[in-house]
């Protein structure tokens, strides 16, 4: 078929680890992984050792991120004690949303007090979405608050059939609720943990086949708005430790897996553009990237990891999977930054 032109894709959920955990990733290695995977705009999460809970922490990240080779935005974070910095945060042009953790994750960020959660929804007086890391009933709680305060709510990485139903219902009620799904929840299930061990452990955990089927259904009927990689690199050593770190890298593998799904006739190329470009751009109000596009042959097969990995973590749960559509050329703001698969 030959090379075909696509928009530079958008990943609204990545953990680039700088500052504080650059043994896993930094802005340079993470952005190289992004470009390799066809993403020209990514949004970094706030759960660093010094979390993005203040404008100072944000400015520090912005400074460090100048080394990145793609465009980067940031989500602000909260422990419920930084509500008075929300105003400056949501007016900041580099901030795209507020991330709230209602279930356990890497770091200590849990909001488990209902009143604190409500105050967060009250104080984030912005059109920029509140993103929640939440499971089951906690999602319902957030939907109720989004309705009460007329906030935009983005439910990250949904993983269960019941959660797809909740989002579907909220959309029927015309609430400002959107949802994302990760490639690992789409392509792996709980039984894969037997084979992959800690390398298939993440939050939220992998679900059953029944749950996975519901996620694909949610993609097809528009309940699920976007695919977010939740790129969460950890070193092999950290994964093999007694208490393994949760999360898997995803920036380099998301596009190939989704084109495999096209090849397997589960979705269409149009769906991919909706999931990785149109919807993330609209929901998070991503600025236009002029003269930016990527090129690849969507029918050309390749093996994940065949040329190694750009992420510093250096592994993938999808290693050796046969997928489609390896990015060849990337043009960002009129400048060629990848040529025939090589970052320039
Ligand atoms: O598995 C996960 N890893 N889930 C998260 O929510 C956070 C992430 C991380 O930062 O490692
Ligand atoms: Zn995450």
Secondary structure, 3-state, the chain: CCCEEEECEEEEEECCCCCCCCCCCCHHHHHHHHHHCCEEEEEECCCCCCCCCCHHHHHHHHHHHHHCCCEEEEEEECCCCCHHHHHHHHHCCCEEEEEEECCCCCCCCECCCHHHHHHHHHHCCCCCCEEEECCCHHHHHHHHHHHHHCCCEEECCCCCHHHHHHHHHHHHCCCCEEEEECHHHHHCCCCHHHHHHHHHCCCCCCCCHHHHHHHHHHHHCCCCCEECCCECCCCHHHHHCCCCCCCCCCCCCHHHHHHHHHHCCCCCHHHHHHHHHHHHHHHCCCCCCCCCEEEECCCCEEECCCCCCCCCCCCCCCCCCEEECCEEEEEECCEEEEECCEEC
pLDDT per position as a tens digit, 17-67: 999 999 999 999 999 999 999 999 999 999 999 999 999 999 999 999 999
Q: Which ligand is nearest to the CA of 101?
A: 1
Q: How far is the CA of 132 from the centre of ligand 2 (A)?
A: 10
Distance (Å) of CA 114 to CA 27, 56, 104, 142, 144: 35, 28, 16, 10, 12
Q: Which ligand is nearest to the CA of 43?
A: 2
Of the candidates 98, 91, 90, 96, the one whose C-alpha atom is nearest the C-alpha of residue 130 is 98
- Mean of the per-residue pLDDT values of the chain: 97
pLDDT at 108: 73
Is the minimum distance from the CB of 149 to ligand 1 under 6 angstroms? Answer: no
Is the minimum distance from the CB of 246 to ligand 1 under 6 angstroms? Answer: yes
Is the minimum distance from the CB of 232 to ligand 1 under 6 angstroms? Answer: yes
197-221: average pLDDT: 98
Nearest atom (ligand 1) to Cα of 45: 10
Is the minimum distance from the CB of 313 to ligand 1 under 6 angstroms? Answer: no
Model confidence band, residue 133 (pLDDT cutoffs 50, 70, 90): very high
Q: How far is the CA of 310 from the centre of ligand 1 (A)?
A: 19
Is the minimum distance from the CB of 105 to ligand 1 under 6 angstroms? Answer: yes
Q: Does residue 1 register a pLDDT over 80?
A: no
Q: Whose CA is nearest to atom 4 of ligand 1?
A: 203
Of the candidates 312, 190, 330, the one whose C-alpha atom is nearest the C-alpha of residue 255 is 330
164-168: average pLDDT: 98
Nearest atom (ligand 1) to Cα of 133: 6
Mutate which of 235, 246, 250 for ligand 1? The one with the most ligand atoms within 8 Å of its CB, which is: 246
300-325: average pLDDT: 98
91-98: average pLDDT: 98
Q: How far is the CA of 104 from the centre of ligand 1 (A)?
A: 9
CB 161 within 8 A of CB 184: no
How far apart are alpha carbons 155 and 158 in whole angstroms? 7
CB 59 within 8 A of CB 76: no
How far apart are alpha carbons 100 and 225 in whole angstroms? 19
Instruction: Report the percent of the chain where pLDDT is more than 90.
Output: 97
Q: Does residue 104 register a pLDDT over 90?
A: no
How far apart are alpha carbons 110 and 189 in whole angstroms? 26
300-305: average pLDDT: 98
201-209: average pLDDT: 97
pLDDT per position as a tens digit, 105-125: 766 789 989 999 999 999 999
pLDDT per position as a tens digit, 216-240: 999 999 999 999 999 999 999 999 9
pLDDT at 73: 98
Nearest atom (ligand 1) to Cα of 245: 11
- Return the structure tokens found at 259: 């084109």
């Amino acid at each position: 078929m030959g090379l075909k032109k696509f928009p530079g894709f958008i990943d609204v959920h990545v953990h680039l680890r700088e500052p504080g955990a650059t043994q896993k990733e930094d802005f340079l290695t993470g952005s190289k992984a992004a470009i390799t995977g066809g993403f020209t705009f990514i949004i970094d999460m706030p759960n660093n050792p010094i979390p993005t809970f203040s404008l100072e922490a944000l400015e520090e990240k912005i400074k460090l991120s100048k080394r990145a080779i793609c465009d980067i935005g940031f989500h602000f974070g909260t422990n419920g004690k930084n509500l008075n910095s929300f105003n400056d945060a949501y007016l900041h042009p580099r901030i795209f949303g507020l991330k709230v953790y209602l279930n356990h994750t890497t770091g200590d960020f849990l909001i488990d007090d209902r009143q604190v959660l409500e105050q967060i929804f009250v104080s984030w007086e912005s059109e920029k979405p509140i993103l929640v890391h939440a499971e089951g009933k906690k999602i319902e709680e957030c939907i109720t608050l989004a309705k009460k305060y007329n906030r935009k709510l983005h439910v990250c990485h949904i993983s269960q059939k019941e959660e797809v139903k909740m989002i579907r219902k909220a959309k029927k009620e015309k609430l400002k609720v959107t949802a994302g799904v990760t490639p690992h929840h789409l392509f792996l299930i709980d039984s894969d943990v037997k084979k992959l061990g800690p390398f298939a452990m993440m939050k939220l955990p992998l679900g059953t086949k029944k749950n996975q089927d519901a996620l694909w259904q949610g993609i097809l009927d528009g309940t699920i708005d976007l695919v977010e990689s939740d790129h969460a690199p950890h070193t092999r050593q950290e994964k093999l430790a007694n208490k393994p770190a949760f999360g898997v890298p995803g920036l380099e593998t998301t596009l190939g897996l989704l084109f495999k799904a096209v090849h397997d006739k589960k979705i269409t190329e149009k769906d991919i553009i909706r999931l990785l470009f149109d919807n993330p751009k609209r929901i998070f109000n991503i600025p236009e990237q002029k003269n930016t596009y990527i090129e690849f042959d969507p029918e050309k097969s390749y093996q994940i990891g065949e040329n190694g990995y750009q992420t510093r973590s250096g592994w993938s749960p999808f290693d050796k999977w046969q997928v489609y559509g390896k990015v060849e050329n990337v043009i960002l703001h009129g400048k060629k930054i990848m040529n025939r698969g090589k970052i320039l």
